[in-house]
Amino acid sequence: MRQAGRFLPEYRALRAQHGFLELCKTPALAAEVTLLPIRRFPVDAAILFADILLVLEPMGVGLEFAKGDGPVIHHPVRTREDVGRLTRAPVQMTLAFVLETIRLARAELGARAPLIGFAGAPFTLASYLVEGRGSRNYVHTKTLMYGDPRAWHALMERLAETTVDYVQAQIAAGVQAVQLFDSWVGCLGPDDYREYVLPHMRAALAAIATAGVPVIHFGTGTSALLELMRDAGGDVIGLDWRVDLAEAWGRLGPGVGVQGNLDPVALFAPPEEIRRHAARILGRAGGRPGHIFNLGHGVLPETPVEHVAALVDAVHELSAR
């Protein structure tokens, strides 16, 4: 989970010299960042360095990563007309730099570890497009969704198509698994998920599944949505830390794996406490095949690096037993 993230000093050193979008758009640098965590920790996979919002820039909405403020969309999409104005261009052209990053990272990784690609899921992309930035209450997003369902579905359809193209291009370029981030879909209740999100996720995940690469379907705050997310698709369902792993996996049934679910804030605890948390999660998974140990959401920037190392060691040691 965001292994190439902002908590590594070597990443921050690179960021001191390069803007965030510049890093993403320079394959040699992005491949280097992709490999940083795997050079430092004995993790089992590398995760592409990129951002879920990169697909939005070629739509003509004006994406910027403002210092301290997070991502900003200069022309938010709030009406049917705004949806109609979104421009369309093949991801192989507009996101060629990501595909080149994948090829470089794969060449470097060799047989050391697989490379996981990722993309934003339609709802989460839509929430940024409509709000114009991160949000607490998603007022504009839900106002469009409830107030003009036709425009909403047109937007979701468009985003689902782009997501499929983008993920398929990543797979063609060499990623060996894919994670679809529906990070903010947990702001919806089950009825709204069923009506406004599920059909688009189902279409996207079905199209992606034809590539034969494992897909992790991730969300946060989704305790009440898990069965619906499973119905939408994905080989593995991401669980955040606010749900009991054993209980959630039981609800999901036998056909699906799970990923999770350590609280990222647990990494601020003393190493022996981190170990206790890891042991509890592994105990809940009960050695059942199909559990990917991970955090429930991204590593926070202030996380002590040595605590991440302690976690990786604890997970390997405890799983080997």
Instruction: Return the active site residues.
Output: 2, 6, 15, 51, 128
Q: How far is the CB of 71 from a copy of itself (least distance, A)?
A: 16
Helical axes 122-131 vs 139-147, angle rounded to 10°: 110
162 versus 222: smaller Cβ distance to a copy of itself: 222
Contact 274/307 with Cβ under 8 angstroms? yes
Task: Select from 149, 159, 164, 89 the least CA-distant residue to 124.
Answer: 159
Cα–Cα distance for residue pair 31/166, rounded to 1 Å:
18
Pick 206 or 224: Cβ nearer a copy of itself: 224
Please report how close the Cβ of residue 221 comes to a copy of itself at its closest, in angstroms. Answer: 6
Nearer to a copy of itself by Cβ, of 81 and 191: the residue is: 191
Q: Using CB under 8 A as the criterion, which residues of the chain lie in contact with a copy of itself when the complex forms?
A: 137-139, 142-143, 146-147, 186-192, 221, 223-225, 241-244, 247, 261, 263-266, 268-270, 273, 280, 300, 302
Instruction: State in angstroms the smallest separation of the CB of 11 from a copy of itself.
Output: 19
The token pair that represents 129 in the structure block? 């497009």
Residue 218 burial by Cβ neighbours in a 10 Å radius (0-12, 13-18, 19+): buried
For residue 88 the two structure tokens come to 């369309």
Nearest to 35 by CA among 10, 2, 4, 81: 4
CB of 268 to a copy of itself, least distance (A): 5
Q: How far is the CB of 154 from a copy of itself (least distance, A)?
A: 18
204 is written with which tokens? 């996207």
Q: Tokens 């920037």 — which residue? A: 301
Which residue's CB is nearer to a copy of itself, number 166 or number 196? Answer: 196
Cβ-based nearer residue to a copy of itself, 3 or 261: 261
Q: Which tokens is 125 given? A: 């992309």
Q: Which residues contact 17 (CB under 8 A, 6 or more apart)?
A: none
Calpha distance 159→105 (Å, rounded): 27
* Phi, psi torsion values for 52, nearest 5 degrees: -60, -20
Nearer to a copy of itself by Cβ, of 114 and 190: the residue is 190
**N-terminal to C-terminal alpha carbon distance within the chain:** 24
Provide, rounded to whole angstroms, the least separation between the CB of residue 223 and a copy of itself.
4
- Quick check: bond before 294 cis, omega within 30? no
